[in-house]
Amino acid sequence: MSLGFYGPPNAGKTTLANKICMDWLGEEIGVASHLPHETREVQMKEGVEIESDGKKLNFNIVDTPGIATKIDYEDFLKFKLSKKKAKSRAKEATKGVIDSIKWLDNVDAVIVVLDSTQNPYSQVNITIIGNLAARNIPVLIVANKVDLKKSKIKKIENAFPQYPIIGISAKKGKGIDEFYKELFKLVK
C-alpha cells in the first residue's frame, strides 16, 4: 500500500514524513526547510511498518512536492537565492507539482497536510481535495503546526467537514500517537 503526502508548499509534509520514518525506521526521507519548494521531486520510502493498539500497518510513504497554482522565481529571491538559482528552483518546483499530480494514480490513500496557521480556503487546498474526491481516494487531513499561536484547527474542520481531521505538530511530535491511530482508521 502507498500512502501519499500532499498539500501546499511548507505545510509540513516532509517534516511529518521524516517524523514517521524516524519513529519507525530511524532515518529521514528528505530535507525540510523554511524555503518553499524544498521538496521538488517525489520521494519514496518503502516498507514503513507502524504499530498502534497491537495492530501493525505496512506501507510506502510517497512524499510529494508542494502543490501550487503559481510558482514565480522572484518569490525565491526573497530568500537570498541568486537569480540563476531562483529560476532553477522555480523550474524544478513546477515540474514537481506536475509529478505530484501524476502520482495520484499510484497512491492508495492520502494524508493532506495543511498549515493550521493559514487560511484553508485557498485555491490550492480546494483543488487538492477536489482531485482526491473525484478519484475516490481515502483522505486524512492533518492540521499541522498546532504548536503555533496562530493555529486554527476549527477553520480547517469548517472548510472540509467531510473528512477526518487531526491536529498535530510534526516538528514537535505533538498529537503523533493520535495521528497513528487515525492512519489505521483511514486504511482499515
How many structural domains is the chain composed of? 1
Does residue 99 register a pLDDT over 90? Answer: yes
Q: What is the pLDDT of residues 170-182, one digit of tens each?
A: 999 999 999 999 9
- The pTM (predicted TM-score) of the whole model is 0.95
- The b/e string for 33-50 (b: 16+ C-beta within 10 A; e otherwise) is eeebbbbbebbbbeebeb
Residue at 135: amino acid letter: R
pLDDT at position 42: 96
CATH of the domain at 55: 3.40.50.300
Per-residue pLDDT tens for 146-163?
A: 999 999 999 999 999 999
Determine the structural domain holding residue 101 and report its residue range.
2-187
Question: Which residue has cell 472548510?
Answer: 159
The pLDDT of residue 41 is above 80: yes
6-24 residue pLDDT tens = 999 999 999 999 999 999 9
**138 pLDDT above the threshold of 90:** yes
